[in-house]
Structure 1
């Protein structure tokens, strides 16, 4: 539940998976906090196997809900960006232009930049997806989400962001946005996922981070120069969407070529067997 401006308030309730809690029912700890706590002694022997089942169910529900979304792009950014901020308007533009280019838009489902991208997508007539998370604050799915899935665990949620996206567009944000950005970069750098574009929107915001990466991080040899090519920076929503669409077109052409080659090999094998 959200207020009239689409932003979740503390009084709107606390979502714990599919359950909505209010008042005295709101827990003092999140599911992630309990999972990662070392204060349970030996009780984890009895509790953790059941947690595994719950985690498994989150993956099953997420895969089931998103399997038919089609081409999509994940958009990240701050939950704290006010509606009248230029970054909010930029998020709306990105969401709208991604839909116009044939993509669904996936966000964290919350307020701020997430809401703006969902709003742009929904008002453009596209599919607006929100992947919510159990948090003690900034809770609730914004009103522009058409398809929403709530998660207890960050790692299950982040898997969905990556699995169903053909690219990431990252607007200014805080620790959560940095976490999502660097996880995506790490997965691409280590070839854990098929390479997809990662675009940072807002050069004034991201320039300090990029200067640090190009400076002390690169000079110490903790990354390679080629790693810096994994991320693109722009101030133009049109350019960001074009980077995604160009990569998507190349990806689909490669898939068509691979399918044609496989069919040709199978045909050749069949003809050889028939001789």
Structure 2
């Protein structure tokens, strides 16, 4: 095989890294799982799902009290949001927290980069997607998953707090899943911090003005979210929560 040059595009299928011109999948593993036409194979898929849980638990077993950060993959370097993510990663690392992201580009890269540059422990949990998204270069520990639900379990199990930077549907999905787990007490209450009042403010206005007013959620549910523009405040909120919990395991 000829040596790979700098411009070769690589993708991941689970833990495997594959050269793009040798990779011809028509569907991701999640897509195949959710197709009813393939249901006869589902009992065997349980073994692959089990192996992903084992791999995640094994690799993350020594991680304690991490902060999971969500944010858009589409933000370019040298932009205000990227700089904010980099500052956040550095501040969390400086406060002694392992930092965990989705391991991709954009704000995930920014947070991993900030944590790495500050000498902290930088973790990236990647996911198989139908378009290219490799683990960024700033992760100390990187794990690639085939199944979203396995990856999401790792985000929650090894974290003591969530911070949400601006993002799209993926970030919103992760935010509301975390919020639901806290609201239903599936996990002991721990902070969910939204960083960026201009970005998150309209969403909170809708939650208060529509969901609360029409009785779909209670006012106390909204209080589970804390919004700020200050990285220092975000880190302080996490620290205060840790002191209140007194080291209690939320899992």
Larger radius of gyration: 1
**Matching residue of 2:60:** 66
1:77 alignment partner in structure 2: 71
Distance in 1 (alpha carbons) for counterparts of 2:248 and 2:93: 23
Answering whether residue 30 of structure 2 is matched by residue 36 of structure 1, we say no
Distance 1:252 1:26, change over 3 A: farther
Deviation of 1:102 (Å): 0.9
From 229, 234, 239, the equivalent of 1:240 is 234
Contact 2:11–2:132 (8 Å) recurs in 1? no
Q: State the shift of 1:24 in Å.
A: 4.4
Contact (CA 8 Å) 1:199, 1:232: kept in 2 or not? yes
- Give me the whole-angstrom Cα distance separating, in 2, the residues matched to 1:71 and 1:64: 16
Say which is worse superposed, 134-143 or 184-193, in terms of deviation.
134-143
Match of 2:150 in 1: 156
Q: Which sections of structure 1, spanning at least 5 residues, go unmatched?
A: 256-275
Q: What is the match of residue 168 of structure 2?
A: 174
Deviations 1:163-207 (A, max 9, x none): 000100100000000000000000000000111100000000011
Q: Are 1:198 and 1:231, in contact at CA under 8 Å, matched by a contact in 2?
A: yes
Q: 2:79, 2:26 → 1: CA distance?
A: 32
TM-score under structure 1 length normalisation? 0.85
Q: Would the aligned equivalents of 1:12 and 1:140 in 2 still touch at CA under 8 Å?
A: no
Q: 1:143 to 1:124 in 2, by over 3 A?
A: same
Match of 2:107 in 1: 113
Match of 2:10 in 1: 13
From the two aligned structures, give the one with the greater helix fraction.
Answer: 1
- After TM superposition, the score normalised by the length of structure 2 is 0.93
Q: How does 1:184-203 map to 2 (within 5 A)?
A: 184-203=178-197
How far, CA to CA, are the matches of 1:223 and 1:84 in structure 2? 39
> Whole-Å Cα distance in 2 between the matches of residues 98 and 58 of structure 1?
28
Deviations 1:104-145 (A, max 9, x none): 000000000000000010011110000000012241000000
Stretches of structure 2 that go unaligned for 5 or more consecutive residues are none
